[in-house]
Amino acid sequence: MLYLWRNHNPTSMQVSDFQTITYEADKQIVFVRVNERSVSATTGLVKEAQYTILEALEQYKPIFLLINLVELHFPITPELQEWLNQEILPRLFGSGVKRIAYIMPTEFIEKLSIEQVYDEVATAIEQTEATTQVNYFDNEAEGLRWFNQKTNTLYKFA
């Protein structure tokens, strides 16, 4: 189930059963935060969540995307990985986002399944000729610092 709140402050939020998507307009960042309820997720719910992320990117057109997977408790199967490679990654890298920071899960199995996606991410970037930069971090502060590194003064925020 998805809920959408809009108000007059620069943040919009979408909440599903196991992830929250927040847009901070002043920083041009979409945050995706997976929560502990991902332990009860199904492949269908994970796919729906991926489409919701793409919809947020289309709606808000951010420069940055931070995906926090620390609380991920759903291993990515080879079948789901293939679906991500075919359906999601090309659209993600064609969305106009300049930098994507993945905050890695701490659980071994989930971390391993995300690491297996690394090569596919690189391939997707090459195939779409995207200029998107992707990096992996242990916490959000590191990802935000990377966003803030000077690549172009347009992207600088406090």
Task: With beta carbons less than 8 A apart as the criterion, state whether 93 and 53 touch.
Answer: no
> So where are the chain's domains?
3-150
Rounded CA gap, 53 and 50, in Å?
5
Of 9-13, 81-85, 129-133, give the range with the top mean pLDDT.
81-85
pLDDT tens, position by position, 36-62? 888 888 899 999 999 999 999 999 999
Q: Using pLDDT thresholds of 50, 70 and 90, give the confidence band for residue 107.
A: low
- For strand 64-68 and strand 19-24, is the pairing parallel, antiparallel, or unpaired? unpaired
Average pLDDT of the chain, as a whole number: 78
Name the H helices within 2-158: 43-60, 78-83, 89-93, 108-115, 118-128, 140-148
Give CA 110 to chain center in angstroms: 15
**pTM value?**
0.79
